[in-house]
Structure 1
Amino acid sequence: MAMCAPTTAKIPVINVSKIDTDTADRLVAAAASFGFIFIELESTDIEYNNVQHMFELSKKFFASPRSEKEKCAITENNKGWSSMLSETLDPEHQTRGDFKEALNFGEFQGGKAQQPLPSSLVDSETYLSDFFDSCHNLCVRLLQLFAMGLKIDEEAGGKDWFSSRHDKSGPSGSILRLLHYPIIPAEAGYVPEKDIRAGAHSDYGSITLLFQRPGQEGLEILSGGWHPVPVHPESVDTARPPPILVNIGDLLSYWTGGYLKSTVHRVVVPPSASASGEDRYSMAFFCHPVDTAQLIPVPSAFLRERVKKRGAMDTDGEGKVITAAEHLKGRLAATYGWKK
């Protein structure tokens, strides 16, 4: 008997051009139900032409020789190039690493990268910095909307409770990541039942912005089973730019006692393509608070009424509340096999 194809995830599409109560309530409802939300690109300050140009820069870098990429290899600060199979997002279930490569950019200062740049992207440093800033600015807008929708106590900061912890007053774990899932050569011995492009995981930060290319599916979310996420949801005409996919990360989930869902997701070779079919490119902006931000419960009567008694903060195992930087260090150590 043939197995039924998994149903496509029905993720809401939201216009965020206005910072108002209605938009805030819709965002929170979607984040509490799915952990994922589509954001209309046209309702943001990010231009589609800039997204397309970033993808061209990404393709340019990943097409460069390995010897050039290795000059900016990833280090324990999570910046730089990671090669095929070097990252294992689901170490408990994977027998080998992810079939992808990536380039991580940390924060820029005064338009300058604080890490070695590959020769193929040196001339685009200012462009990369501007795109990083535009992603950060969109995240600040979304965080203000989430704070409004969660009805955070005004005396505690109100709509600025999250955004004040994501300002540029200090270093953070925020990362702009270029991703390349190459055609998998036959000699790699790719086994769909065992191997994966990106293992099942939740994101480590506050929120993530994901930019995808038309026709390059593969992302799946876990909700009573695995469900594919379209690049273009049904309500968005394929003639329009793909919307930005936003998902809740661990920190926003911790802060809200699990009310906002940090949903587990993965990237597979979709059934419509073979492992040797087509290279997949995507870009993710992982928004993190400043390193010193503590993972404490959000001050909100709205949340207190809705969250049952449960762990509402991340601790070090001895009851001590930890910082955003300490949380990230632990997650990266598990992913790359680094010592904590």
Structure 2
Amino acid sequence: MPSLTLPECGRYIPPPETKEDLEFADLTIIDLSKAHTPEGRAELYPQLRDALRTHGFVYAINHGYTQAQRDRIFDIAGVPFADVSPDEKKIYTADVEKVGYYAGYKARQFWKVDTDNQILDQIEHYAINMNVTKRPHPLALRPFLPELDAFASHNHFNILHPILRLIALSLGLPAETLVDKHDFDRTGETSVRFMKYYRRSKDEEEKSKNVWLKGHTDIGSITILWSQPIGGLQILAPDGRWKWVRHIDNSLVINTGDMMNFFTGGYYKPTIHRVVQPPEDQRNYDRLGVYYFAMPDNDCTAAALVLSASALMRILRPARRGGREGRRRMAGPDLKKGVEHNVEEEVVEGIVVKHYN
């Protein structure tokens, strides 16, 4: 009989929520418990459609994890950063430029946050493939693999798939249209990712104008962020201003990425977002994040699924491979100054991808 005692690890003690008067984005809250019945889906998909078309981001509640389960995942999220030596981290660091995807660690100072001032990022990643045994892990993390396997499955089947069904219904398509393109056994680089944003020096903050991760869109189809209290995430609102994303305890923040843009022929465009220095009353804390980055199946083509006039499922044009575009984006951008002010550009598979300073 398996042990009922969970392996021990350090506790993640979140700081109090900010008391600062910030301009928050007015995001819709979706109740995922309603997504399990036809009647509930019929109620939810217009809400989700309007929210994604307006802001590109949405909150989700009642996703099936209790507060205690959510807290336990954040405890585990600290293990690869706090309990693994620098030498062992090097063994499990992804050669992103060679393989084209994140697997294991992304070390700090990998990305350029400010090209002019040569400011590099202070963000450490640990990425775990949705098939948690696909690649080896540091010794300290191995006792937690059964819990991480359950967490990956929960994100995929109980959160991602219901969201994909709602998006398909919002397009007048059969509910399983997008689910079929995100099969658990065929999806290549969908991953659970832990991210730790380390505090930076005053000089770095001044030179980068307090930007920790410059404005960008996500490369996958759907991103699931487990909300945490330290502020920093901002979205570029429809009025052209950066607005903060508010923390709601045990909620999710969900957004679409570039692949969903391809699938829907531009109907669901990804929203530009960034991470900045936390509010002043939270600046003495490092920022820990838990994410599920969903990519379509490796053999899936990123062609548009619908004709807007008739909402019929159809392939409109020869497709770019979804995995190929993603691998190029993850391999590290070759950025050049764009035509727009404070915008850098790279060309990926013939597509101009913008990075916003």
Shared fold per TM-score greater than 0.5: yes
Shift of 1:169: 3.9
Which position in structure 2 is the counterpart of 1:155? none
2:55 match: 34
Q: Choose which of 202, 206, 218 in structure 2 pairs with 1:191.
A: 206
Cα pair distance change 1:61/1:132, threshold 3 Å: same
Determine if the alignment matches structure 1 residue 51 to structure 2 residue 56: no
Q: Is the 8 A contact 2:117 2:207 kept in 1?
A: no
Post-superposition Cα deviations, 1:225-271, rounded to whole Å, max 9, x if no partner, equal 21111113xxxxxxxx3310000111111211222130011111134
Shift of 1:130: 0.9
Residue 221, structure 1, aligned to residue 245, structure 2: no
CA distance in 1, matches of 2:136, 2:183: 24
Runs of 4 or more, structure 1, over 6 Å off, are: 90-94
- Measure the CA separation in 2 of the matches of 1:143 and 1:93: 40
Question: Alignment partner for residue 78 of structure 1, among 102, 123, 132?
Answer: 102
Q: CA deviation at 1:194?
A: 4.4
Structure 2 counterpart SS, 1:200? strand
Aligned-partner Cα distance in 1 for 2:133–2:334: 23
Q: CA deviation at 1:177?
A: 0.6
Amino acid across the alignment from 2:184: K
Residue 103 of structure 2 contacts residue 129 of structure 2 at CA under 8 Å; is this kept in 1?
yes
Q: Render the CA deviation track for 1:22-44: whole Å, top value 9, x for unaligned.
A: 1011111111111000001xx22
- The alignment partner of 1:160 has SS state of coil
- 1:95/1:195 contact within 8 Å kept: no
Give, in whole Å, the separation in 2 of the partners of 1:173 and 1:327.
12
- Give the aligned partner of residue 316 of structure 1: none
Change (3 A) 1:14 1:292: same
Work out the percentage of aligned pairs sharing the same amino acid.
Answer: 22
What does residue 9 of structure 2 align with?
A: none
Q: Distance in 1 between matches of 2:116 and 2:155?
A: 32
Measured in 2, the distance between the counterparts of 1:71 and 1:48 equals 34
- The alignment status of 1:100 with 2:123, answered yes or no, reads yes
Q: Is the 8 A contact 2:56 2:268 kept in 1?
A: yes
Which residue pairs with 2:179 in the alignment?
A: 163
2:332 is paired with a residue whose SS is helix
Please state if 1:141 is matched with 2:156: no
Aligned length: 301
Distance 1:274 1:124 in 2: 29
CA contact (8 A) 1:103 1:178 kept: yes
Deviation at 1:71, TM superposition (A): 2.0
Q: Cα 1:336–1:60, aligned 2, differ >3 Å: closer, same or farther?
A: farther
Q: Quick one: distance in 2 between partners of 1:206 and 1:221? A: 17
- Who is 1:279 aligned against? 286
3-state DSSP of counterpart to 2:32: coil
TM-score by length of 2: 0.77
**Following the alignment from structure 1 to structure 2, what is the Cα–Cα distance between the partners of residues 129 and 140?**
17
- Cα pair 1:94 1:194 within 8 Å, conserved: no
The letter for the 2-side match of 1:12 is T
Residue equivalent to 2:34 = 18
- 8 Å Cα contact 2:46/2:170 also seen in 1: yes
Q: Give me the whole-angstrom Cα distance separating, in 2, the residues matched to 1:47 and 1:179.
A: 22
User: d(CA) in 2 for partners of 1:262 and 1:334?
Assistant: 20
Amino acid at match of 1:95: Q
* Inter-partner Cα distance in structure 2 for 1:200 and 1:149: 28
> Residues 1-340 of structure 1 correspond to what in structure 2 (within 5 A)?
7-19=23-35, 20-40=41-61, 43-64=62-83, 65-75=85-95, 76=99, 77-88=101-112, 95-108=118-131, 112-137=132-157, 138-152=159-173, 158-185=174-201, 189-191=204-206, 193-194=208-209, 196-214=211-229, 216-223=230-237, 224-232=240-248, 241-273=249-281, 277-300=284-307, 303-304=308-309, 320-335=318-333
SS of the residue corresponding to residue 26 of structure 1 reads helix
Structure 1: state its 5+ residue gaps: 153-157, 233-240, 307-311, 314-318
Per the normalisation by structure 1, the TM-score is 0.81
Indicate if the aligned counterparts of 2:171 and 2:306 stay in contact, CA closer than 8 A. Answer: no
User: Which blocks of at least 5 consecutive residues in structure 2 are unaligned?
Assistant: 1-20, 36-40, 336-347, 350-357
Alignment RMSD, CA only?
2.6
- Greater strand percent: which structure? 2
**1:92 deviation in Å?**
6.7
